[in-house]
């Protein structure tokens, strides 16, 4: 999956349980956990390793990430593991990155990312 160049500046990630459909600039929901340093880097490595996939129609994302540098928000991603869509949001992102990208949720990185989200939500194995 394509990530913005600013991903390298990420110092922390908020893991979000999405409670409303994302608007044009933000993932809306409750923060489940905050990942810093190595946890944040591992999560972004999984996201960047997600292979492309065919998009389906539902787009009802359950989990998202908000990436921050030490001083600023960088970008946000809402993930729908049912329709294989990841919505990349953020001010100042290049148009080629902003919007819906397809990914393969059944790939190793997709399964690992979903497992991390579920662990944060306390629904591992659900």
Poorest-pLDDT segment among 5-9, 24-28, 85-89: 24-28
Question: What 8-state DSSP symbol labels residue 114?
Answer: H
**Mean per-residue pLDDT, 69-91:** 93
Question: What 8-state DSSP symbol labels residue 67?
Answer: E
Q: Which residues of 57-77 are buried (b: 16+ CB within 10 A; e: fewer)?
A: eebebbbbbbbbeeeeebbbb
User: For residue 92, what are its two tokens?
Assistant: 């100042």
| CA neighbor of 47 nearest in space, from 107, 125, 119 | 107
Which residues partner with 85 through β-bridges? Answer: 80, 102
Tell me, what's the pLDDT at 123?
A: 67
Neighbour count for residue 118 (Cβ, 10 Å): 15
pLDDT in tens, 107-119: 999 999 999 999 9
State the chain's mean pLDDT as an integer.
90
**Mean per-residue pLDDT, 6-35:** 90
CATH assignment, 5-121 = 2.60.40
Please tell me the pTM assigned to this model.
0.90
Confidence of residue 98 (pLDDT cuts 50, 70, 90): confident
Tell me, what's the pLDDT at 126?
A: 46
pLDDT at 22 over 80: no
Tell me, what's the pLDDT at 23?
A: 66
């Amino acid at each position: 999956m394509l990530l913005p160049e600013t991903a390298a500046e990420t110092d922390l990630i908020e893991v979000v349980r999405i409670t409303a459909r994302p608007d044009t600039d933000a993932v809306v929901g409750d923060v489940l956990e905050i990942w810093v340093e190595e946890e944040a880097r591992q999560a972004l490595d999984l996201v960047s390793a997600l292979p492309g996939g065919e998009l389906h129609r539902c787009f009802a994302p359950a989990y998202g990430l908000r990436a921050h540098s030490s001083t600023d928000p960088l970008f946000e991603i809402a993930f729908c593991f049912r329709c294989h869509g990841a919505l990349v949001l953020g001010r100042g992102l290049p148009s080629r990155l902003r919007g819906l990208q397809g990914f393969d949720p059944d790939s190793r990185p997709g399964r690992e990312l979903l497992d991390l989200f579920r662990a944060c939500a306390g629904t591992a194995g659900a």
